[in-house]
Amino acid sequence: MNQIKISEKECKNALVKSGICGVDYALNPYIGCQHGCVYCYAEFMKKYTNHNEKWGKFVDVKVNIADRLKEQIKKVKPGTVMIGTVTDAYQPLEKKYRLTRECLRILADFDFPIFIQTKSDLILRDLDILRRIKEKEVGFTITCADSEVEKIFEPGASSLKRRLEGLKRLRDEGIPTFVFFGPILPFFSDNIECLKSVFERLKGIGIRKIYLDRMNYLKDKQRRINSLLRKRFPHALPFYQRVIEREDEYSEWLKANLASALFDFSFDSEVLFPPERNLSVAEKDDYKKELI
């Protein structure tokens, strides 16, 4: 992993009102993330920092966030807290700073419901606190069934194997779990065979709830993604270019593949990207041929 600048900062608030449906507050112990995901949607956060480094090349550690939470939680209306909306609260730095753990402990003391989404099995370290929280839901992000591809797109995150093992452990502990399958990587995990491979593995560990999303930021991340593809997967570049040029058609094609792949499974699934428009049968056939 390339060198990342780590800075210790102080924050004014721990809890921030959230606009996410079903979530009252967001809590982010870090700004930036060591996972270095090529497609990261949270790059917009850089404008709120004084960093010259590129997004993914720095992490600000909110060293006083637990103290702020202790003060703030006594004053705010109880509500659901999502931990890690623009960062991964269990990125490697959490092993040292333990900020997420301390905040989780405070939330447990005040009986606040929590919602966590991560790519790290470090969350298993905090099972003792999670057991104390009455209302909780914990999910892992997965983007591809091919662990080698996933490692290239998400170089600092836990391996696919460790994520699946983490999910199983959480389920065995009786903790409500879900999988966020997204962004589904064009070319690598969007065909029916790859989708079914992911679903089979999730079924095997007893996962019931799945959220599905496409890569929504190709245009914004085009330079970064194309650079990676040129180095590692040059044969995928034409496919990505067609996805960018024909977003509507790609969305419908992917939705059709998801419907087909999910047919033999009984997941509680939700597709998060909306339909753009209905394609004709001829358009679908033409587009399918292009993507093969």
pLDDT given for residue 220 in this prediction: 66
Domain boundaries, the chain: 5-291
Q: Which amino acid is at 104?
A: L
**Is residue 167 within 8 Å of 177, Cβ to Cβ?**
yes
pLDDT at 56: 85
β-bridge mates for residue 17, sequence order = 25
Give the closest residue to 178 by CA, choosing from 239, 116, 123, 233. Answer: 116
How far is it, in rounded angstroms, from Cα 236 to Cα 162? 27
- pTM (2 decimals)? 0.90
Using CA atoms of 152, 158, 159, 163 in order, give the dihedral in degrees to the nearest 10: -130
> What is the fold, at CATH topology level, of the domain defined by 5-291?
pyruvate-formate lyase- activating enzyme (3.80.30)
Are 200 and 162 contacting, i.e. CB atoms less than 8 angstroms apart?
A: no
Residues in the chain with pLDDT < 50?
1, 276-280, 282-292
What backbone phi and psi angles, to 5 degrees, belong to 249?
Answer: -65, -40
Q: What is the DSSP letter of 282?
A: H
Count of CB atoms situated within 10 Å of the CB of 262: 17
Q: Report how far residue 116's alpha carbon sits from residue 212's, in angstroms, rounded to the nearest whole number.
A: 17
Q: Report phi then psi at 142, rounded to 5.
A: -135, 140
Q: Which residues pair with 212 in a beta bridge?
A: 181, 271
